[in-house]
């Protein structure tokens, strides 16, 4: 029987390609854990957003925040050094995909984000969406903000951005790179309200000394998570195990309360981040 050389070569090429893809996927699946141990550094994406991440303006060091404390604990478990890599909420996914960071805390596991990155199964913590609004602005429900002439600031590409776009579409929505810029717009009077999750607004209200914090109805309470590179199953499983243990032991709540205290806030006056402790 004659052998078709071209078909034989095509078959060999296809086999080699399939083998290469499989080998690449296998290498990536165990990649981050091995790479962190080899490099001796765990790179965590951070952005100025107390109580999650806070940079000391005197030293320039990322010294406080739940994400800082948890990142340092994870790095220590791996025998590595913690490294804070500054990103924005909007470009954190690209930083993960580009290999600039290994993880980013406080990114919600939305369907859109799941197309680009992976998330552990266990929740990191729970929180509620809120607004810091002008004291003379009547706000009880999201419908109160859904009207022309109301200016709402929110970090671009976040859950907050998506929520106000859906529930306050008649308002003027101002989108900024991060929490700090959105809060600055409210402080400067360019926005009537800033939409974030409740804990960062506590820190903002403390610093600004003005405005009122409202959790508009219907309340939107949901879990947050940790964004990781796609198809890195070994690292995803390890992160899942770690954050589940922190949550069950109450350590996540303790880090959250310590971050609030570092910022001069009374943790007893703040809503908890454990669903089991919420009223």
- Note the pLDDT tens digit of each residue in 122-156: 999 999 899 999 999 999 999 999 999 999 999 99
Q: Both tokens of residue 126?
A: 């729970």
Classify domain 27-124+225-277 by CATH number. Answer: 3.40.190.10
Contact (CB, 8 A) for 203 and 50:
yes
Share of the chain above pLDDT 70, in %: 89
For residue 42, the model assigns a pLDDT of 98
Which fold does the domain 127-221 belong to in CATH? Answer: D-Maltodextrin-Binding Protein; domain 2 (3.40.190)
Q: Where in the chain is the domain with CATH 3.40.190.10?
A: 27-124+225-277, 127-221
For residue 202, the model assigns a pLDDT of 87
For residue 279, the model assigns a pLDDT of 63
For residue 68, the model assigns a pLDDT of 98
Tens-place pLDDT, residues 78-105: 999 999 999 999 899 999 999 999 999 9
For residue 265, the model assigns a pLDDT of 84
For residue 6, the model assigns a pLDDT of 44
Residue 9, class by beta-carbon neighbours within 10 Å (0-12 exposed, 13-18 middle, 19+ buried)?
Answer: exposed
| Under-70 pLDDT residues of the chain | 1-30, 279
Q: Both tokens of residue 16?
A: 């080699």
């Amino acid at each position: 029987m004659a052998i078709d050389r071209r078909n034989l070569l095509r078959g060999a090429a296809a086999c080699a390609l399939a083998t290469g893809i499989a080998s690449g996927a296998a290498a990536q699946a165990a990649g981050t854990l091995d790479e962190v141990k080899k490099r001796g550094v765990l790179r965590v994406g951070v952005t100025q957003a107390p109580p999650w991440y806070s940079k000391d303006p005197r030293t320039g060091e990322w010294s406080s925040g739940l994400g800082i404390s948890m990142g340092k604990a994870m790095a220590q478990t791996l025998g590595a050094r913690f490294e804070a890599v500054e990103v924005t909420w909007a470009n954190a996914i690209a930083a993960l995909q580009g290999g600039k960071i290994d993880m980013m805390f406080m990114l919600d596991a939305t369907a859109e984000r799941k197309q680009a990155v992976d998330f552990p199964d266990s929740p990191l913590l729970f929180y509620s969406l809120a607004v810091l609004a002008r004291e003379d602005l009547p706000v009880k429900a999201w419908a109160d903000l859904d009207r022309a002439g109301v200016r709402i600031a929110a970090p671009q590409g976040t859950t907050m951005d998506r929520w106000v776009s859906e529930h306050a579409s008649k308002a003027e929505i101002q989108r900024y790179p991060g929490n700090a810029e959105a809060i600055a717009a409210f402080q400067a009077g360019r926005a009537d309200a800033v939409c974030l999750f409740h804990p960062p607004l506590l820190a903002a209200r403390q610093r600004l000394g003005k405005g009122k914090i409202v959790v508009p109805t219907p309340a939107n309470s949901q879990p947050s998570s940790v964004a990781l590179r796609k198809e890195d199953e070994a690292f995803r499983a390890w992160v899942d195990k770690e954050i589940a243990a922190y949550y069950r032991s109450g350590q996540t709540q303790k880090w959250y309360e310590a971050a609030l205290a570092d910022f001069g806030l009374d943790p007893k006056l703040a809503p908890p981040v454990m669903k089991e402790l919420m009223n």
